[in-house]
């Protein structure tokens, strides 16, 4: 595992010591050094390091203010001469808190914690990617069986125009009929291909193959109009997914 690292401290001797200690780790690449909080904010967001060694007390902007202003969120090891910031540091989810002068053995313990945290994060990301890939490859339902009277009717999903929530039930509409499913709309959404069936409201899913047009309202809202003449308002939550399909 390669680890990009940024050192932030207003004291050159402190930065030099960290550079010396990090020289024992081939997998750690020092991508920069900063001697002020303002410089640190710019460097963190531009270089996007995996890890920063961060001093607490610096002129102009302290280490905690740096963490409040950055967009990129690296792993953090605080290094400071003061022990009264430790609780606040760990509230910021810091990996470790090193007191100056930094003992070499104590520094190595911090690096080991960094490795463990980054490896755990990488493992979590890989699991998430696998889950998403498996979802993309999932076999979505081509037919749904919906009870009507004492029968279970076979409905091809490509014939469903739209689905509307009705309490704990869902109304499925085709060109010729309507069916009441005992499954909630969220459960049915998971069984439908998201490239064809998209949610336009928490209570409405439409089949894009049966969408006629999208109308913009004066207030900036959107309305989808289906080929069967039915219209549905698009909630703000789902409007951006509609706009992604506009070319």
Beta-bridge partners for 199? 205
Beta carbons within 8 Å of 188's beta carbon, 6+ residues apart: 144, 163, 170, 181, 205
pTM for this predicted structure: 0.51
Sign of CA dihedral 233, 236, 238, 240: positive
Domain boundaries, the chain: 3-135, 143-243
Pairing of strands 151-156, 222-226: unpaired
Cα distance between residue 88 and residue 91, in whole Å = 5
Domain 143-243 indexed as CATH 3.30.750.24: no
Q: What is the band of 134 on the pLDDT scale with cuts at 50, 70, 90?
A: low
Answer yes or no: are the C-beta atoms of 246 and 224 closer than 8 Å. no
Q: Which residue has the higher pLDDT, 62 or 132?
A: 62
CB atoms within 10 A of CB 184: 14
Instruction: Determine how many CB atoms are found less than 10 A away from the CB of residue 242.
Output: 18
Confidence of residue 41 (pLDDT cuts 50, 70, 90): very high
pLDDT tens-digit series, residues 115-129? 888 887 766 655 655
Q: Which residue has the tokens 């039915």?
A: 230
Give me the pLDDT at residue 90, please.
72
Give the CATH class of 3-135: alpha beta
- Counted residue by residue, the chain has a size of 247
């Amino acid at each position: 595992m390669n680890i990009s690292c940024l050192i932030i401290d207003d004291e050159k001797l402190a930065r030099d010591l960290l550079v010396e200690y990090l020289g024992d780790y081939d997998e750690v690449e020092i991508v920069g050094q900063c001697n002020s909080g303002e410089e640190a904010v710019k460097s963190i967001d531009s270089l996007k390091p995996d890890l920063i060694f961060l001093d607490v007390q610096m002129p102009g902007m302290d280490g905690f203010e740096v963490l409040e202003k950055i967009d990129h969120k690296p792993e953090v090891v605080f290094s400071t001469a003061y022990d009264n910031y430790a609780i606040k540091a760990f509230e910021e989810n810091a990996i470790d808190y090193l007191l100056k002068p930094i003992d070499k053995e104590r520094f190595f313990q911090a690096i080991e914690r960094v490795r463990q945290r980054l490896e755990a994060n990488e493992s979590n990301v890989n699991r998430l990617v696998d889950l998403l890939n498996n979802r993309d490859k999932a076999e979505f339902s081509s037919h749904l069986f919906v009870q009507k009277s004492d029968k279970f009717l076979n409905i091809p999903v490509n014939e469903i125009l739209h689905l509307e929530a009705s309490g704990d039930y869902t109304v499925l509409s085709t060109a010729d009929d309507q069916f009441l499913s005992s499954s909630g709309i969220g459960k049915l959404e998971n069984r439908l291909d998201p490239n064809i069936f998209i949610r336009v409201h928490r209570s409405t899913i439409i089949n894009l193959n049966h969408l006629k047009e999208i109308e913009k309202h004066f207030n900036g809202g959107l309305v989808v109009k289906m080929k069967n003449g039915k219209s549905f308002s698009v909630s703000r939550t789902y409007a951006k997914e509609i706009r992604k399909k506009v070319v």
